[in-house]
Structure 1
Amino acid sequence: MQDWINEVETQRIEQLPAERIAELKDKFASSPYKQTFHLQPPFGSAGKPNGLLFDGKHYLISHVWYPFTINNGLSYSYAYQTPDLIQNPTEQIMLKPDGLFDDEGIKGGSAIEINQQTHFIYSAKSKDAVIEAPFMQLHAVKNHTGEIEKYEQPINFEVPEGYVQNVQDPKVFEKDGARFALLSAQTEKGQGRLLAYHADDLNQWQLIAPVHTNLSHFGDFWHASDYFTMNGYDILTFTAENTEHAFKAGYLMGHLHFHNFKMNHGDFKLWDDGFGFVFPQTFEDAEGSRVLIGLLKTEGEYEHLPEIAQVPCLSIPRQLTMHNGKIYQTPHSSLKQLRYNEETALGYANKFAKQLHPYEGDNFELQIEILENDATEIYFEVKVSKWNSTKVTYNTHSRLVTLDCSESGEVPLANVETKCSVQLSRDLEHLQIFVDQSSIEVFCNHGERVMSSRIFPPENSKGIRVGTESGQAYLKFTKYDLHGIYVVEDNSEQ
């Protein structure tokens, strides 16, 4: 039972009176950890992104939604639609578990635009499913009037010999005029894999082959796959899960042969070196740039933090570019629309920690330029109060950037990491930090490496502080307060 709710996890949102829904929305909105410029449903818990696209006029961002639990129980698909990715999105339930084959929940999947109609290919649970094949793969379409029409029969994705029937998270995409799908799968030996299919008809798919990579033993299941190309490279992305339910969201870059789906690739690289960034999906924006959005969730258990604070949210949208064969992630330019109250400061940091005045805030973007550096180590602290802060540290000799959340406020119980580090290919020159009510996202050297985490500081933690271990550094700070995203509810019936 969740601490915010009296309903059971199988309760249907359609059965709740309007007064109860309003009460739930008010309770979530009053939480000090409710995000402001990150997308979150009005109550309940966000799950896997399951449909991201730009249809030529509007952006669609949809994800699995658990109204009454954290990633468990009956689930829906919740969606936001906006003309510019950020400002004034409308929100609505996109897919309901009201069909014969999805009556126990909508799960992962993808969306594709064909002939000005949005098609959803998604996994779902049904009370009639067998244990060996717990997920159905279904097809729904949003027609020209905005109504959702579900196809009556599940899609039959053939599972090859040597694989269990537990396939899910269909990712549909087009390549050179042909349509393909990737499904998350598992071998009978418990190894995570992807299966590749092609089709002329979205309801009839033919198996091509399992995707062949060099990762023979790499997690028990590969969730939420995606594929795209960049600068002549094929990029295959997925979130690997192991038996301890630890997740690694990353990608392979190389060359994928579509006749047999064998891939020559380099090492698996993480999208985010922080904590809780999982299930990312990508799409092209109006300018043709590749954009990535993932889920930001908590890791571990918290002794004193109410569960209403721990519900996941979506990450900020990240624009992907490639430089010298390396993928960089930068905050999407649409986020600039949220800026106001710009403040700048220029000066030296030394071993006497300085509180930056009048710098403070709850929800902000902080850019730091390192103009001169004679320090052994520089540290930057945000969400500072008397006893708490979240710290980003740069070691000049090792070029290590460390995100330290160990004193950020409420932290997980033992055996959960609260510090993470990345090593840069060159000296740190620029940091861009986004801080919301309960998250931090750190972009190093214009997106060479990224670290994110959920954080839960006390409400009075608003300060910003800088200092060094020894020596001094000449720094330029630019801070913007960020408006929250004002979401408008779409009450039209689907």
Structure 2
Amino acid sequence: MMQGLDQQLRQQAYEEVNKYREVVEADPYRLAYHVMPPVGLLNDPNGFIQYKGDYHLFYQWNPFNTGHGAKFWGHYTSKDLVNWEHHDIALTPSDWFDKNGCYSGSAIEHDGQMYLFYTGNVKDENNNRESYQVMVESKDGFRFEKKGVVLHLPEDYTPHFRDPKVWKHGEYFYMVIGAQSLDETGKAVLFRSKNLENWEHLGAFAGAHIGSFEDFGYMWECPDLFELDGQDVLVFSPQGLEPSGTYYQNLYQAGYVIGKLDYESIQYNHGEFVELDRGFEFYAPQTTLDEKGRRIMIGWLGLPEEREEDHPTIEHKWVHAMTLPRELKLKNGKVYQLPVEELKELRSEGVKYEAVNLSSKAQAFEGVEGDAIEINLETLETVTSTITIHIRNHANLVYNPTDKLFKLDRISYVDGETVEERFCHLNQLKSVRMFLDTSSIEVFINDGEEVFTARIYPDVEEKGISFAASGTENVSIEAWKLNN
């Protein structure tokens, strides 16, 4: 491989980190307890795996500016999913098969070694794209050797063919790739191997027709197939869905279908597509199975192409972050998301208010304020009037039991004036668990039945949080300051 170019690119990236370190760290919107890039642009989580006791999280990284250029793989590790350590660059776009970017992929352990798989992106002078699936070997999880291309583009697909996720089932390894077929519809394409190097094309096992949709998006990105409570869940990020009522309101979506994959016939019978997150910024999630048997997911707390250049952090030379890690569980045919138990380690002093009567006059509570805080509200009776949580004079959480709608609204970071809204249908509100960080919010409703994720940019001096109801509602409120 081209070691000289690899070292040159690494050195240039580290120079950018050092050059802008003070500018980045001076940003008041720098997050307190989320994974972020040291400089530049971060997007998809990659290679999420627990290996030799450590959680490894790689990420798409452009260290040279806050736009989407030739991507590197940055690298974090954690022993507890709470405290993350940044490491040397894992992959650079330094070879003929990835010269325009080491795109997204996954990690797997085999015979004590870590193997990474990613898409090498190549473009010619006319911007025509080529894509190659590349294998990387590591004996320790910190030093990486590209072994080269293991999969070329099959027939029937455009070069939008990327994001390999690899797992083992029975005696075979399997790889699912997000693809666009020649008729410009999205597909999930399956491959099989006995040795991780030679891959057999089994064909597309999902795509195009989902429920009443004849054409479910023109491209599927970041597929991830895994078993959860006896069912096979396919998570993917379709592009090209049109808004429908309260659904598909973002430029691109991320969600899942549930079914059962027949590995012999390569038939996958599944249900309807369900959005994983109802907020403004959530995309390209990836999961791993840890040593405790938990299926854990991390997503990109961002969204490609949608007003990225307007984020206030741009002037401080960085943009985007990762979501908090979430444990996935299957309940009543639906994927629930719960913040991992380890996040309780972030808690410092806490307060609790029991049997609070909310009314039309907004109430604030001592100790329930700040820009890095966890808040848990539980309803003590059936909710019959509208409940509102007002956040830092910038965003609101609202549940309307008449319309059975839960809403997150915020002031747009584009113009600082427009109020933007996202909704989900909710038969009854039982609990709201909110993680507020300096410039982000993650909301878990009814123990993860629905989730909202967003970036928010309130005035840095605004710390207040208040609660109100259009009638009288009996709730309990608990809150903790979060430190990292």
Shift of 1:236: 0.7
2:239 corresponds to which of 234, 238, 241: 241
Residue 120 of structure 1 is matched in structure 2 by 116
Change (3 A) 1:302 1:154: closer
Contact kept? 1:129, 1:135, Cα under 8 Å: no
Aligned length: 462
Q: Which residue of 1 aligns with 2:53?
A: 57
Are 1:196 and 1:211, in contact at CA under 8 Å, matched by a contact in 2?
Answer: yes
Assess if the C-alpha contact under 8 Å between 2:374 and 2:482 holds in 1.
yes
**Secondary structure of the residue that 2:24 maps to in structure 1?**
helix
Instruction: Spell out, residue by residue over 1:162-195, the C-alpha distance to the aligned partner (whole angstroms, 9 max, x if none).
Output: 3223311111111123101111111222111121
Alignment correspondent of 1:8: none
CA–CA separation in structure 2 for the residues paired with 1:49 and 1:403: 25
* Structure 1 contact 77–94 (Cα < 8 Å) conserved: yes
**1:379·1:393 contact (CA, 8 Å) conserved in 2?**
yes
Could you tell me which residue of structure 2 aligns to residue 300 of structure 1?
Answer: 307
* In 2: Cα distance, 1:291 partner to 1:297 partner: 19
> In the alignment, which of 208, 212, 215 is matched to residue 206 of structure 2?
212
Where does the alignment leave 5 or more consecutive residues of structure 1 unmatched? Answer: 1-10, 485-494
Q: Distance in 2 between matches of 1:441 and 1:167?
A: 31
How many angstroms does 1:129 deviate by?
9.5
1:332 counterpart letter in structure 2: V
CA drift at 1:127: 5.9
Distance between the aligned counterparts of 1:233 and 1:181, measured in 2? Answer: 18
CA contact (8 A) 1:157 1:205 kept: no
Please give the residue correspondences for 1:345-494 in structure 2 after superposition, counting only pairs within 5 Å. 345-346=353-354, 347-372=356-381, 375-383=384-392, 388-406=393-411, 410-412=412-414, 418-425=420-427, 427-469=428-470, 471-484=471-484
For 1:156 and 1:395, the matched residues in 2 are separated by: 51
- Shift, 1:272, TM fit: 0.3
Aligned residues of 2:10 and 2:92 also touching (Cα < 8 A): no
- TM-aligned CA deviation for residue 290 of structure 1: 0.5
- Any idea what SS the aligned residue of 1:42 has? coil
Q: Distance in 1 between matches of 2:476 and 2:93?
A: 52
- The 1:127–1:212 alpha-carbon spacing in structure 2 relative to 1, beyond 3 Å, is closer
Deviations 1:234-270 (A, max 9, x none): 1111001128992110001011122232211111001
Match of residue 5 from structure 2 = none
Q: What TM-score comes out, normalization by structure 1 length?
A: 0.87
Question: Taking every aligned residue pair, what percent have the same amino acid on both sides?
Answer: 29
Give yes or no for contact 1:44–1:68 (8 Å, CA) kept in 2. Answer: yes
Q: Match of 1:217, as an amino acid?
A: D
- Seen in structure 2, the aligned counterparts of structure 1 residues 16 and 111 have a Cα distance that, compared at 3 Å, is closer
Q: 3-state DSSP class of the match of 1:354?
A: coil
Distance 2:65 2:189 in 1: 31
**177, 185, 189: which one pairs with 2:179?**
185
| Counterpart selection for 2:219 from 200, 218, 221 | 221
- Give the superposition deviation at 1:115: 1.2
TM-score by length of 2: 0.89
Contact conserved, 2:34 with 2:321, CA < 8 A, in 1? yes
SS at match of 2:23: helix
Question: Structure 1's 259 and 127: CA in aligned 2 closer, same or farther, altered over 3 A?
Answer: same
Aligned AA (1:322): L
Q: Distance in 2 between matches of 1:301 and 1:56?
A: 36
RMSD: 2.5
Change beyond 3 A, Cα 1:315–1:304: closer
Task: Quote the residue 1:48 is aligned against.
Answer: 44
**Cα distance in 1, alignment partners of residues 415 and 264 from structure 2:** 48
- Out of 28, 36, 57, the position equivalent to 2:32 is 36
| Aligned-partner residue type, residue 167 of structure 1 | F
Cα contact 1:395–1:401 (8 A) shared by 2: yes
Shift, 1:113, TM fit: 0.8
**Aligned pairs (5 A) from 1:134-153:** 134-144=130-140, 146-151=142-147, 153=148
Q: Which amino acid letter does the alignment assign opposite residue 359 of structure 1? A: V
1:253 aligns with 2:258: yes
Q: Using a 3 Å threshold, how does the CA distance of structure 1 residues 159 and 132 change in structure 2: closer, same or farther?
A: farther
Residue 371 of structure 1 and its aligned partner are, at CA, apart by 1.1
One-letter amino acid of the counterpart of residue 456, structure 2:
I
Inter-partner Cα distance in structure 1 for 2:135 and 2:311 = 42
Q: How far, CA to CA, are the matches of 2:312 and 2:129 in structure 1?
A: 36
Q: Are 1:82 and 1:90, in contact at CA under 8 Å, matched by a contact in 2?
A: no
Distance 1:129 1:303 in 2: 29
**What's the CA shift for 1:47?**
1.5
SS of corresponding position for 2:277: coil
SS of the aligned residue for 2:19 comes to: helix
Range 328-337 or range 242-251, more displaced:
242-251
* Cα pair distance change 1:45/1:360, threshold 3 Å: same
Task: Between 174-183 and 238-247, report the one with greater CA deviation.
Answer: 238-247
CA contact (8 A) 1:46 1:71 kept: no
The one-letter code of the counterpart of 2:223 is S
- Deviation for aligned residue 1:297: 1.2
Alignment gaps of 5+ in structure 2: 1-7, 243-249
Q: In structure 2, do the counterparts of structure 1 residues 167 and 131 end up closer, same or farther at CA, with 3 Å as the change threshold?
A: farther
Match of 2:158 in 1: 164
2:352 equivalent in structure 1: 344
What one-letter code is carried by the residue in structure 2 that aligns with 1:196? L
**Which residue in the other structure is 2:76 paired with?**
80
> What is the SS of the residue equivalent to 2:368?
strand
